[in-house]
Amino acid sequence: MNNFKSIDATLSVNGKSVKLGTQSLCHILMSFLDLFTDPNILAELANAEDFELRRCVARSENLNAETISLLLQDPSESVVEYLFRSKNATKHLKHEEILYALNRSAYLAEKVANYLGQLRKHNPNVNIEELYSILATHHDCRVRSIIAQDVTTPLAHLQALVMDCDADVTRQARETVANIA
Amino acid sequence: MNSFKKINALLTVNGKSIQFGSWDTYRIIGDYLEVPGGTEILSELAHSAYNEIRLKVSYYNGLSLEAIEFLLDDPVEKVVYETVTAQNGERLLLLNQQQILKLISRSPKIAHALARYVNKLMENTQIDRIEIVSAISRHPDPCVRHTLAENRSTPKELLEKLVTDSDMDVAQTAQNTLNTFQSEVTYEQL
């Protein structure tokens, strides 16, 4: 269970300070995330009570492995989703962490399916074949649909999806197989 | 001549800080500074040597009078212009005779802005309003006089003088503005 902290943020200019509320800090983070390069500050913000702050932080390319793991456990799925948008995070995620995310909900499984290409490209620790197997047989047809449209999906999975119970998935898999051929 | 300061900006989150250079300070200036504690920060930023910071700060509500006065003396015309015209010219209510006369002679662009905001100048009780507007009406740039001539807040006696302006467009515009007053009087009499 995450133990969230309240965030005490101030902006000071030449010794004169103003306290920043969560919304102001969120606005700064959202607009100028590139300024937040210090992993220690990002780690503080990853523990913030406000989920918007945590979501902003999840997009950062400067998170350390510990913060990435913490954010992956976030109770808010949108925080985890934002984590998958970061190249750096997808590079550092462990295979078990990805399995944990995709088993959490169909929504997150869909996000994992969307970022399989990125995972394959940047993360050598991931067993990509296993991910395809799980996602190609996922109970949610939206997840299978993403896999059926992905030209990098192994042919065996695409051929299985041609026989899918959902007509759209079947059509998409057939079209992808045709495109590959 | 204004003397500028080096700006040292820090963002601190739970005791951990990030220091910003001029460009990043410029980027993070935002509406969240329009709070009581933000006035002092805006004042510091108004003294920045980085002209883009001063320009950005010039738009903000909550600038202290000291900061406004400092920005009105800025070497960059755009900073002065934005300081004068921010909040629909409301800041003109805070300025004294000497400051406004100085602005009139600062540049045609600034004088033009003042001609646009004659309504605000006419609300300013700490100045000799007729003398100020009269000074604008004598500006060498016809564009400034033209804006004054078409402004319905310009006192009638000055519009009557502008009717004889050396620039025929200014003269005609002043006459048209006077005519609108005349027709309103006639309509009210009816």
From CA B115, how far away is CA B135, in angstroms rounded? 10
Burial of B179 (0-12, 13-18, 19+ CB in 10 A): exposed
Predicted TM-score (pTM) of the model is 0.81
Kindly provide the b/e burial profile for residues B116-138, where b requires at least 16 CB atoms within 10 angstroms of the residue's own CB: bbbebbbebeebebeebbebbbe
Q: Where are the domains of chain B?
A: 1-75, 95-190
Q: Does B44 touch chain A (CB under 8 A)?
A: yes
Reported confidence tier of residue B41, pLDDT bands at 50, 70, 90 = very high
pLDDT digits (tens, 9 = 90+) for B147-179: 999 999 999 999 999 999 999 999 999 999 999
Residues of A with CB under 8 A from a CB of B: 5, 7-21, 23-25, 27-28, 31-32, 35-38, 40-41, 44-45
Q: Look up residue B118 and give its two tokens.
A: 């004659």
For the beta sheet containing B9-13, the strands, ordered from the edge strand earlier in sequence to the opposite edge, are A16-20, A9-13, B9-13, B16-20
Q: Do A18 and B37 touch (CB under 8 A)?
A: yes
Q: Are B45 and A47 in contact (CB under 8 A)?
A: no
pLDDT digits (tens, 9 = 90+) for A12-45: 999 999 999 999 999 999 999 999 999 999 999 9
Q: Which residues contact A22 (CB under 8 A, 6 or more apart)?
A: A7, A48, A50, A52, A53
Give the chain B residue nearest A30 (alpha carbons). B28
Residue, of B2 and A153, whose pLDDT is higher: A153
Q: Are A144 and A136 in contact (CB under 8 A)?
A: yes
The label of the residue with tokens 């793991």 reads: A69
Q: Does B50 touch chain A (CB under 8 A)?
A: no
3-state secondary structure of A22: helix
Model confidence at B185: pLDDT above 90:
no
From CA B65, how far away is CA B79, in angstroms rounded? 15
Q: What is the mean pLDDT of chain A?
A: 93
ipTM over 0.85: no
The pLDDT value given to residue B190: 60
B95-190 CATH, one of 1.25.10, 1.10.405, 3.40.50, 1.10.357: 1.25.10
